[in-house]
Chains A and B, each alone.
Chain A
Amino acid sequence: MEVLIILVPLALGLGLAGLAAFLWSLKSGQYDDLDGAAWRAIADDEPPQETQPDLRSVKR
């Protein structure tokens, strides 16, 4: 039963990590536009902005 000393903190730690991840995602506004997020996942990459040179094309 000594294994509990490792397992219980581990389980709680994982749970807390999940909670922290959820609170972070909430804070960073990931639940603000659920409809849009569904589409953004499958949309093409946005084209490079004019102010920022596209590094990928420079390498080629």
Chain B
Amino acid sequence: MQVSRDFSHYVRAAGEGLQHIDLAVEGVHCAGCMAKIERGLSAIPDVTLARVNLTDRRVALEWKAGTLDPARFIDRLEELGYKAYPYETASAEATEVAESRFLLRCLGVAAFATMNVMMLSIPVWSGNVSDMLPEQRDFFHWLSALIALPAAAYAGQPFFRSAWRALSAKTTNMDVPISIGVILALGMSVVETIHHAEHAYFDAAIMLLTFLLVGRVLDQNMRRRTRAVAGNLAALKAETARKFVGPDEISQVPVAAINPGDIVLLRPGERCAVDGTVIEGRSEIDQSLITGETLYVTADTGTPVYAGSMNISGTLRVRVSAASEATLLAEITRLLDNALEARSRYRRLADRASRLYAPVVHATALLTILGWVLAGAGWHDAIVTGVAVLIITCPCALGLAIPTVQTVASGAMFKSGVLLNAGDAIERLAEADHIIFDKTGTLTLPDLDVVNAAAIPADILALAGQLALSSHHPVAAAVAQAARAKSPIVGAVEEAGQGVHASVDGVEIRLGRPSFCGADDLARSSVDLDPEASIVAFSRGAEKFVFTVRQALRPDAVTVIAALKARNVGIEILSGDREPAVRAAATALGIPEWRAGVTPADKIARIEELKRRGTRVLMVGDGMNDAPSLAAAHVSMSPISAAHLSQATADLVFLGKPLAPVVTAVDYARKALHLMRQNLWLAIGYNILAVPIAISGVVTPLIAAAAMSGSSILVMLNALRARSASRGITSWKS
């Protein structure tokens, strides 16, 4: 059977007879890589563009249409030592990029306006106490208006839109007082300028927008960066399937190009990338990523298989079905929808603060106006003072208090391998006081490992590893991995369902089922020791050995659990796996609270029960069966190896083998929440100082500008402290 690679799904026309493809590249991290890749790819004839993006770790390629096969670029990169995968921009990421450009443009406009208005304001401020002619002051005010009004109309859009959305939904957010403050300040300044008054607040209003936009741009950039990394990781997983394009012809195509009704081939050792039903073949499949159950399931004609299942022994033909047809998925989807709906009711700290803040501030301004009128001042003066109160309380610092901390903290988390999916994840994670772990793939590593590798002579392990390279079986792959085998043994023969054998220097060597190697007795004693493990035997002549292969605990799981306990966090395990397997893991980790054989609905029920007791649950899980409980929990986390659905549902995703990012993330989040609260208090403290001055009616534009920038800078500096989390995480980081 012929297998060809088909990447046409990712290729798009770039105009003028050119074609374009984006590749996500693994391992690009320096200028050297950049130059090497660009030179290597440009050397291919007919390539017109090869440009590396070091921030996003991607390569953009363009070539003359019809001259080259995209697979050639991937081969070329392979020769250069980089793994590359075609990349398709997800719509979510495209939106983030567009949004980030728009914010940057707004910031550019606002910063330009601020600089020029300030330039005009300084002579007015100094002129008011010296000998400036009223005509000159008016001229400068009009010029300021000319610059500030269009600039604010453009650069204020992010705030005005968001405020409008909140008001139409009959709620408030931080952008409502911001928008009211800016619009009133500008409006009053225009009226004052028309009446040749001494003070105008164009400078304060536009400066406020600039400061707030700095915060927004930083926040957006961090989010965009995270999104790019997540997008790359999805591409690096290289989700392809072997699709039948003719009765005997197979093409390897990206999953995105597969439709319901297509037939795909699933070979032993491959992970299924689609949902479907087996139509031909017989095999054992590992459904642990879906159900948490580590025992293999027998797949036969008519058995449903889900994306993420690993095929173990035989070759299968699978007819692709639409996701909703499968009963398990339908059940999980239903639970997930319910849980997500419940979670969207969470109120963010900033929104809670603004709910209190906006009415207080607006009432104060109103009372100021009424107070001055009652005290005998004219309506005009009273209103001017009232608006001055609004300007001085306009939540510049408050608007920055939370986004800046969030940006700094998510940047620090990003560096330690934690990606944020949800904007409010940090706040919710900081509140978590009980952690529920899934076992399979979360506390344990998703891949199989040889547990007793240390007890086996090094030369035997190396030889077995080499022989294992000739087999597709996942257990054999684990042996090869453990032995770090590179070169297969020439002439090795695989006997389906039994094992592999070869002869080296005239001695017969075998790797496979214990019976295949004549090591039944040895195997039986190993099974008694560890009933969960798969046993694979190896024989060289008369010498016999057995390897115990199973999913090992994450290398630092024990220390992480201990560290979490030290932070006064309740810990329990809820697993879909059988009791002995869960008991073994719980004992090894010292977790007294555990439950085995739990269904997705049971997991949710347990979370609800904890919720009723007032506990805030962090759910850490990876399986598709965990997706609903990930959504139901107060906050959730997934390893990057998790099923698609779970990863999309989780608030945070962590990379790599260690479990340490869970503690790191908790520490950063707690520190960040502490700083957010501190920043809010700083902002309120500033208001308590500034508001009496504003109410007394002595605020000049100079005082407004100084107070506003002073408090903003203070809050930003305080936010920088979120970079370092407390309690020395690095000391036990592997």
Contact = CB atoms under 8 A, between A and B. Distances in A.
| Genuine A/B complex | yes
A46 B40 CA distance: 11
Contacts of B45: 50-51
Contacts of A2: none
B128 interface: no
Interface string A23-39: 10010000111111001
B39 A46 contact: yes
Interface in A3-52: 4, 8, 11-12, 15-16, 18-19, 22-23, 26, 31-36, 39-40, 42-44, 46-47, 49-51
A22 B108 contact: yes
Contact of B55 (A4, A23, A36, A49): A36
B38 interface: yes
B31 interface: yes
Most chain B Cβ neighbours within 10 Å, of A4, A15, A19, A26: A19
A52 B42 CA distance: 12
Contact of B119 (A11, A42, A46, A50): A11
A9 to B, nearest CB: 10
A1 interface: yes
B116 A26 contact: no
Contacts of B116: 11-12, 15
A15 B109 CA distance: 10
Contacts of A34: 55
A36 B42 CA distance: 18
Interface string B147-161: 100000000000000
Contacts of A18: 112
Interface size class of B (residues with CB under 8 A): 20 to 34
Nearest to B39: A47
B126 to A, nearest CB: 15
A42 B115 CA distance: 32
Contact of B35 (A1, A16, A35, A43): A43
Contacts of B257: none
> SS class of chain A's interface: helix, strand, loop or mixed?
helix
Interface in B130-180: 136, 139, 143, 147
Nearest to B100: A31
A3 to B, nearest CB: 12
A42 B31 contact: yes
Contact of A36 (B43, B53, B109, B115): B53
B34 A36 contact: yes
Interface string B51-67: 01111100000000000
Nearest to B97: A32
A42 B108 CA distance: 27
B31 A43 contact: yes
A28 to B, nearest CB: 12
A23 B105 contact: yes
A19 B39 contact: no
Given A26-B104, A26-B105, A42-B31, 8 more contacts: A11-B116, A12-B116, A15-B115, A19-B108, A36-B53, A39-B54, A40-B34, A46-B39
9 contacts: A11-B116, A19-B109, A22-B112, A35-B54, A39-B31, A43-B35, A46-B38, A49-B42, A50-B45
> Sorted from nearest, which 10 A-B pairs have the closest CB atoms?
A36-B54, A39-B31, A19-B112, A35-B54, A33-B53, A35-B55, A22-B108, A15-B116, A33-B55, A43-B31
